[in-house]
Amino acid sequence: MKHLFFDLDRTLWDFEKNSESALRQLFHELELDSMIKSFEGFHSTYKNHNAKLWNRYGKGKITKEELRTQRFRDTLQQFQIFNKDLTEKLADGYIQISPHQTNVFPGTHETLDALKEQGYQLHIITNGFKEVQFIKLEKSDLLHYFDLVLCSEEVGKSKPHPEVFQYALAETGAGSNDSIMIGDDYQVDIIGASNAGWEGILFDPNKEYKPGTHEWQVNALNQVPETIIWIKNSRLI
Q: What is the pLDDT of residue 237?
A: 55
Where do the CATH 3.40.50.1000 domains begin and end in the chain?
Answer: 3-14+103-234
Sheet holding 121-126, edge to edge: 148-151, 121-126, 3-6, 179-183, 199-203, 217-218
Name the CATH superfamily, with its identifier, for domain 3-14+103-234.
HAD superfamily/HAD-like (3.40.50.1000)
Give the pLDDT of the chain (237 residues) as one tens digit per residue.
Answer: 799 999 999 999 999 999 999 999 999 999 999 999 999 999 999 999 999 999 999 888 999 999 999 999 999 999 999 999 999 999 999 999 999 999 999 999 999 999 999 999 999 999 999 999 999 999 999 999 999 999 999 999 999 999 999 999 999 999 999 999 999 999 999 999 999 999 999 999 999 999 999 999 999 999 999 999 999 998 775
- 8 Å CB contact between 168 and 150: yes
Matching CATH number, 15-100, of 1.20.120.1200, 3.30.1490.190, 1.10.150.240, 3.40.640.10: 1.10.150.240
